[in-house]
Amino acid sequence: MNKKMGVYRFLSSALLLIALSACSTIPTAVDQELEDPGFKDVFVHDPSIIKDEETYYILGSHMQFAKTNDLIHWEQLSESVPTNHLIPNIYDELAEAFEFAKTDTLWAGDMIQLDNGKYYIYYSACEGSSPLSVLGVAVSDHVEGPYKNEGIFLKSGITKEDGSAFDATKEPNVIDPHVFYDKEGKLWMVYGSYSGGIFILEMDEETGFPKKGQGYGTKLLGGNHSRIEGPYIQYNEETDYYYLFLSYGGLAADGGYQIRVARSKNPEGPYMDNTGKTMLDAKGKEGTLFDDDSIAPYGTKLIGNHSWETDLALTNAGYVSPGHNSTYFEKETNQYFIIFHTRFPNLGEQHSVRVHQMFFNEEGWPLITPLRYANEKLTKYTDKQVIGDYKLIFHGRDITEEIKVPTEITINRNGKIEGEYAGKWDWSNDKYVNITLNGITYNGLFISQWDEYQEAQTMAFSGLSENGDTIFMIRNVE
């Protein structure tokens, strides 16, 4: 992807340092100096992450597979089902799955190492225009395989396990698995896409299959073919919440794909968004298909279509249909990361993986940093470091193919905000900041990041309101 996106023109590093020292109204440099990391990108749709020793791996739809040691420079390992090396002779090994789902490819899968030391791939196959799907598991002694099929454990689209008729408005499409341990050491699988919604099953660690007698498990949300998929659950020990990440909308460039979140004290729910709505009510109206208006009020929206330039015809600077994420907590550094695929303005269906740091605001809700991860570290900042002119994105709560464009504001040292939106700002403590615009307060934080669009280090802000609205801000370098 061309790094000289948009129509930016920037000062060189030397000129920038001169300008910073000469003009007291421009913030001083932060303690950590960032440089262009030379991103190396890969395409893995629906990336699910696993770490093995010092290497991170992501597995996605169509057996797309990649690895990295730093979450910045990626190496593509496979691009399709026929070229994959994880499951040798895959069309023979998974013949039953392909035959039942009437397909020759695999959709979003998941990788996990269980406490027995073995590695498991949870694969899904789907016909596509209907919930004719299967979920199965393959196992290996090594993260890069080879994996041996253990078999199918769940089907959808014809009959339920008890032999009764399948109702696609109420029953799940058995794809998009995420398998995880809870804080008590129990193993779970959350799954589902469109159709009857998102469900969760308790798993048997000995077999890698669901425990018997659960049917499709416990329903968490969705129904009536509402466009909700890609569930992923992350536990936060500090807040003691399980966070359920979801993708709303359609995955194509015109689908309005976006990432939302809800949380619960228990893996099985109930899950609530930050406005207090229960996610069990997030479903389409009866008799509807893809009724986005019914589900838009539910779930805290973290990121959607946006551009960092107002002239959309001249830029690729931003994201289109970002979604189907996984997350990772790095215990050694106490860092959370969110990994997702995204498309871009003016690049059609071309997609690539993006990794962003993720923090939690004072109310314990996730915040995605506005810019991709470039080894930045969160530190304390002064007023002088954060004041300046910013581009501001309102993500809103709608599900739309519209690309949100920035407005201009200025953060002043006197606590006032001026520009297209007037307001105020103040430090909630030495880490969090409250930014109030048109009477609505967004609680979040500043972080100094590498901006690949401006080709420079700058300040960024991510914040969330009590209304469930997320804002991103990036300071202009020139």
pLDDT tens digits, residue range 243-265?
999 999 999 999 999 999 999 99
Residue pLDDT, tens place only, 153-183: 999 998 666 667 899 999 999 999 999 999 9
Secondary structure class of 59 (helix, strand, coil): strand
Work out the average pLDDT over 274-291.
97
β partners of residue 352: 342
Q: How far apart are the first and last CA of the chain?
A: 23
Work out the average pLDDT over 301-319.
95
Residue 457: pLDDT over 50: yes
For 208, the token pair is 């890698």
Give me the pLDDT at residue 317, please: 95
Give me the pLDDT at residue 30, please: 64
Give me the pLDDT at residue 162, please: 63
Residue 144: pLDDT over 90: yes
Give me the pLDDT at residue 430, please: 86
Residue pLDDT, tens place only, 207-217: 999 999 999 99
- Peptide bond connecting 231 to the previous residue in cis, omega within 30 degrees of 0: no
Instruction: Quickly list DSSP for 249-267.
Output: SBSSTTTB-EEEEEEESST
Closest-CA residue to 194 (of 148, 228, 235): 228
Q: Residues 6 or more apart from 12 whose CB is under 8 A from it?
A: none
Contact predicate 25/34, CB 8 Å: no
For 384, the token pair is 């002088």
Closest-CA residue to 368 (of 380, 360, 379): 360
Residue 116: pLDDT over 60: yes
Residue 235: pLDDT over 80: yes
3-state SS record for 22-48: HCCCCCCCCCCCCCCCCCECCCCCCCE
What are the phi and psi torsion angles at 92 (to 5°)?
A: -85, -45
| Total count of residues recorded for the chain | 478
Give me the pLDDT at residue 313, please: 86
The continuous run of DSSP H or E covering 325 comes out as strand 318-330
* 31: confidence class by pLDDT, cuts 50, 70, 90: confident
Residue 325: pLDDT over 90: yes
Catalytic residues: 46, 229
Question: Which of 160 and 405 is assigned the larger pLDDT?
Answer: 405
Contact predicate 404/392, CB 8 Å: no
Residue pLDDT, tens place only, 181-193: 999 999 999 999 9
Distance CA 298, CA 468 (A): 9
Q: Residues 6 or more apart from 387 whose CB is under 8 A from it?
A: 25, 27, 411, 412, 413
Distance CA 338, CA 465 (A): 20
Work out the average pLDDT over 461-471.
96
Distance CA 392, CA 408 (A): 6
CA 360 from centroid of its chain's CA atoms: 14
Give me the pLDDT at residue 20, please: 34
Residue 477: pLDDT over 60: yes
Q: How many CA atoms lie within 13 A of 401 on its CB side?
A: 8
Residue 10: pLDDT over 50: no
β partners of residue 471: 394, 463
User: Which residues make up the CATH 2.40.128.10 domain(s) of the chain?
Assistant: 13-34+383-475
- Peptide bond connecting 270 to the previous residue in cis, omega within 30 degrees of 0: yes
Does CATH number 2.40.128.10 belong to domain 13-34+383-475?
A: yes
- The CATH topology of domain 48-368 is Tachylectin-2; Chain A (2.115.10)
Give me the pLDDT at residue 16, please: 33
- If one counts every other C-beta atom within 10 angstroms of the C-beta of residue 89, the result is 10
Residue 407: pLDDT over 60: yes
Distance CA 398, CA 396 (A): 6
Burial label, 316 (beta-carbon count in 10 A; 0-12, 13-18, 19+): buried
Chain mean pLDDT for the chain: 93
Give me the pLDDT at residue 159, please: 65
Contact predicate 259/354, CB 8 Å: no
Distance CA 193, CA 248 (A): 10
Distance CA 308, CA 36 (A): 19
**Owner of token pair 């609680």:** 443
Give me the pLDDT at residue 314, please: 84
Closest-CA residue to 7 (of 406, 316, 402): 316
For 83, the token pair is 């070229």
Q: Which parts of 157-227 are beta strand (E)? A: 178-181, 187-191, 198-202, 218-221
- If one counts every other C-beta atom within 10 angstroms of the C-beta of residue 133, the result is 27
Q: Residues 6 or more apart from 219 whose CB is under 8 A from it?
A: 172, 196, 197, 198, 199, 280
Nearest 5 degrees, angle CA 450-CA 29-CA 471? 50
* 267: confidence class by pLDDT, cuts 50, 70, 90: very high
Residue 5: pLDDT over 60: no
User: Which residues make up the CATH 2.115.10.20 domain(s) of the chain?
Assistant: 48-368
Range in 2-6, 20-24, 121-125 the model is least confident about: 20-24
Residue pLDDT, tens place only, 327-361: 999 999 999 999 999 999 999 999 999 999 999 99
β partners of residue 164: none
Distance CA 360, CA 347 (A): 32
The percentage of residues in the chain with a pLDDT greater than 90, rounded to a whole number, is 90
